[in-house]
Amino acid sequence: MPMLSFKNYNIADWFSFYRVAASPFLLLFIGLGQREIFSWLLLISYSTDMIDGFLARRLKITSARGSQLDSLGDQITLGVAFIGLLVFEQEFILENYKIILIPFFLYFFQMLLAFKKYGKTTAFHTYLAKLSAMTQGVFILYFLFFSPVYWLFYLMIFMGVIETIEEILLIILYPKWVAGVKGVYWAYQDRRRIQEETKRRS
């Protein structure tokens, strides 16, 4: 079944899909220079990220499709948020572009590695990834509504770097695509990985 087929979508998937569908409107308000409207809509998008994960776990409706859609929504939302900062706070971005490029280069390397190995992006949804996304959201939204908090900015960069490094390690550890891995520690106890490793050695 194609990932973006609307058939059999559950409520958590729809919250994830909202982030994807909202991105053109966010870009529109960036183009129109409507910072306040953009900021509020971005806040809603980040809020749906917390809601869909909670619903999926609470209602036990997690799925590989949902994990991919959630990851896609996260990636698009982050990209649009960065474009918004680039337009509305260009001076800050230019002053700090060297440190900002570090997690971005690592992220693109991780994406290339995933596509080469799996043919698609990862959907591990590790604890570090969730913490990193939360830090990004808090920093970006606070910046857009008020002003930059530099210690939070550096924490966001640090979290982005270590989270991406962990994703790269997980790609190395898993011979086949899987969804829902809490982190490297849990990967070593994951039956899916152990079974694949056993098959390869036999």
**Which segment of 89-93, 123-127, 141-145, 165-169 scores lowest on mean pLDDT?**
123-127
The CATH code of domain 11-201 reads 1.20.120
The pLDDT tens digits of the residues spanning 136-174 come to 999 999 999 999 999 999 999 999 999 999 999 999 999
The answer on pLDDT for 74 being more than 90 is: no
Q: Residue 48: what pLDDT?
A: 86
Residue 196 confidence class, pLDDT cut points 50, 70, 90: confident
Q: Residue 50: what pLDDT?
A: 77
What is the reported pTM?
Answer: 0.86
Residues 52/16, Cβ–Cβ less than 8 Å: yes
pLDDT (mean) for 97-101 = 95
Q: Residue 143: what pLDDT?
A: 97
Enumerate long-range contacts of 63-66, CB under 8 Å, 24 or more apart. 63/10, 64/123, 64/179, 65/1, 65/3, 65/13, 66/10, 66/12, 66/13, 66/16
Percent of the chain with pLDDT over 70: 87
User: What mean pLDDT value characterizes the chain?
Assistant: 88
Q: Residue 4: what pLDDT?
A: 46
pLDDT (mean) for 62-91 = 86
The answer on pLDDT for 89 being more than 70 is: yes
Domain ranges within the chain, ordered by starting residue: 11-201
pLDDT (mean) for 94-116 = 95
The answer on pLDDT for 116 being more than 50 is: yes
